[in-house]
Amino acid sequence: MNKKDAVKIVETLKEMYPDAKCSLDFSTPFEMLVSVVLSAQCTDERVNKTTPNIFNKYSTPQDFANMDIKLLEELIHPCGFYKTKAKNLKKTAEILVEKYDGIVPNNMKDLMSLPGVGRKSANVIMLEAFNSPQGIAVDTHCKRIANRLGFSKESEPEKIEQDLLKVIPKEYYKDVNHIFIWHGRNVCTSQKPKCDSCKLQQYCKFYKYNKYL
């Protein structure tokens, strides 16, 4: 993939999804962090249905650090993997209170040192909570689209992100984080992608390969 085609693809996706944005609801960096942790192996829709009940009463690192772990497990139960997520969220809240004066750090290194926050989540938090995208969050949609369009042949998210960053200019990081996910949800779905209605056919390795089989 060359930079020229990469920009054309991103521009085309921006036209296809002018309203693409983060679909998690939050009002503070800490709420964003909690929502991102809960969204692992869970839909954003389910997270959004679960968090209002929590954030109404518990919305700060102090609240989470002081909360009984059993109560936290109960509150986040609908999002799945509730024991691990509760443990990580409580530990993260304790670290934020003890080490960061109760403030979510706004850099990748410190974010990635928090339990349950990997590179993908840190990228999402930097973009959505601090409006400062540092890279591209590679989730299942981004991975599939990057592979199909020919941005990357890799399967590991970190390597796919590096391939994307080589050809996508920094000013597009924000857009790419949203439009790849929307394209994956709406058109380039895992099973039966809607290639006939996709405007990226001319660039797509997956499409060309299947067309000439």
Q: Are 44 and 140 in contact (CB under 8 A)?
A: no
Nearer to ligand SF4, 36 or 198 (CB): 198
Q: How far is CA 61 from the centre of its chain?
A: 21
CB of 149 to ligand SF4, least distance (A): 5
d(CA 15, CA 186): 14
Q: Minimum CB separation from ligand SF4 for residue 144, in Å? A: 8
Distances (CA, A) of 82 to 127, 178, 181, 211: 25, 27, 25, 44
- Residues in the site for ligand SF4, rule: CB under 6 A? 148-149, 187-188, 193-195, 198, 200-201, 204, 206-207
Report the nearest approach of ligand SF4 to the CB of residue 188 (Å). 3
Write down the least CB distance from residue 208 to ligand SF4, Å: 9
The four Cα atoms 74, 57, 37, 99 give a dihedral, to 10 degrees, of -120
Residue the block writes with tokens 């209002």: 52
Closer residue to ligand SF4 in complex, CB, 33/200: 200
The conformation of residue 113, written as its DSSP 8-state character, comes to: T
Question: DSSP E strands: which ranges in 34-168?
Answer: none
Q: Which residues are catalytic?
A: 120, 139
Q: Which is nearer to ligand SF4, 49 or 199 (by Cβ)?
A: 199
Of 109 and 192, CB closest to ligand SF4: 192
